[in-house]
Amino acid sequence: MERYKRHMTFGLAIIPFLVMIAAMAFTILSFDGSPHIPILLGAAVAALIAWACGYSWDDLEKSIYEGIKKVLPAVVVLMMVGIIISAWIGGGIVSTMIYYGLEIISPSYFLAAIFVICTIVTLVMGSSWSTIGTVGVAGMGIGVSMGVPSAMTAGAIVSGAFFGDKMSPLSDTTILASGIAGSKLSEHIRHMLYTTVPAAVIALIVYTIMGMKFVGNSINLQDINAVMAGLQQHFVISPWLLLIPLVVILLVVKKVPALPALTVGIILGFLANIMIQGGNIGSAVNALQSGYQINSGNDTVNELLNQGGLNSMMYTVSLAIVAMVFGGIMESTGMLKVIVEQILKIARTGRSLAATTVISSFLTNVITAEQYISIIIPGRMYAKAYQDKKLHPKNLSRALEDGGTITSSLVPWSTDAVFVMNTLGVGALAYGPYAVLNYCVPIISIIFSLIGFSIVYTKKNGYSNQKADAGV
């Protein structure tokens, strides 16, 4: 017999969030643990409250599976990204990008140059951590030798790395945001250009002006030369290899779905490994699973190239699934609905909703200290509201990245900021003022949202680029 289901109140609905937040803070700050268990604890509390309100286990089980189902497309692409990273490393594509990128270093424009280099590398790699842990480390050494303050150098590195992390079609956050919001990856990336490119231009101008005071300073290129020599020793460096990432980027721009585009990139990288780099098929296949491995004798080169593979994405995949267990219960039982209803009393228009999403994603970073959660939870919370206000889903996916992906490194206790501090030796409070792109993007996004610029509404038969009435 079906149980009577009580109406869910705001007080009951907020309890699982509070439990999850408290557990998250305790686990991450006290034990440097992962957010998986705190999220599952929040899901358990949500399930208990739902059961007490009349929901059966069959109802809850169905809601969990429905929640996981929604994130499966992003999960599949994430696994493909792990494979393509190892394929491109083995094929020498990554080494070629790093090699030519490092050649543009100039004493007069060091800050601007390191920003551009980190941007290019992360666009190709799709991982801000990989860029910061490799090129960023080398860049810090160069900056010190030039007399550039470490905080300035770290800020430029973080800005460049997170530009690429936000805009790369290979980035897990880019894929997650588009998948959670229900927008196409190519549409999502193009829509982010409105807020990210102006911020990047501002950052480049600022770094160029800041760097002019260091004109004439001496520079020690020993570290950079060592990296470049290591890359040349173990890989064939050729500008022709740059055609492979260009092909994948072109496919995405031409609206080819992510899976076919990534598959083409994997095949081309695999063939480059065998035919150009002289690798053997067995090692190349194993690298696709476990990641590329090399012992070059140079620690920076090793850190740069020993990564990728299907296994490397399992942390993100498991986190996405765990988060959707929590989100599925919260959504199907009406808990998310009553919470969003309270928030939407403030965000009455499409414009204010987009701005509210940016702020909510940032606050989720502050509360949970985890970049992925700042995308997943607000994404599921606001999805229905965007549909009701006839807002194109790419508005939601962009707002999630503008407020979530890009701001995580500015929160001192977040996993991103802790990684930067441990890797570059500079804390978020020090490099934050110089991470120009990271705080310009959300500010620009909020301003554009409130004035209605680049806010796209939908209509029954397709998408409309015409702005609807502000009161919608």
pLDDT of residue 369: 64
Give the separation between CA 449 and CA 399, rounded to whole angstroms.
9
Distances (CA, A) of 240 to 96, 101, 108: 9, 15, 29
Are 92 and 277 a contacting pair, CB within 8 Å?
Answer: yes
pLDDT reading at 132 higher than 50: yes
pLDDT in tens, 68-119: 887 787 788 778 888 988 899 899 998 888 888 777 776 678 899 999 989 9
Using DSSP's 3-state secondary structure scheme, residue 261 falls into helix
288, with CB counted inside 10 A (0-12, 13-18, 19+), is buried
Structure tokens at 301: 């080169």
Express as a percent the part of the chain with pLDDT over 90: 33
pLDDT in tens, 357-392: 999 889 888 776 678 888 888 888 888 888 888 899
pLDDT reading at 50 higher than 50: yes
pLDDT of residue 461: 40
More confidently predicted of 221 and 286:
286
Give the separation between CA 353 and CA 396, rounded to whole angstroms.
9
**222: Cβ–Cβ under 8 A, 6 or more apart, which residues?**
none
State the DSSP string of 385-398.
HHHHTTB-HHHHHH
Assign residue 8 a region (left: φ > 0; alpha: ψ between -120 and 50; beta: otherwise).
Answer: beta
Among 19-33, 50-64, 208-222, 242-256, name the most confident range. 50-64
Are 273 and 91 a contacting pair, CB within 8 Å?
Answer: yes
Mean pLDDT (the chain, rounded): 84
Are 410 and 417 a contacting pair, CB within 8 Å?
Answer: yes
Residue 464 pLDDT grade (very low, low, confident, very high; cuts 50, 70, 90): very low
Least confident of 38-47, 183-192, 269-278, 370-379: 370-379
pLDDT in tens, 410-455: 988 777 887 888 788 898 889 999 999 999 999 999 999 999 898 8
pLDDT in tens, 156-173: 999 999 998 899 888 888
pLDDT of residue 219: 55
pLDDT reading at 468 higher than 50: no
pLDDT of residue 201: 96
pLDDT of residue 218: 52
pLDDT reading at 465 higher than 50: no
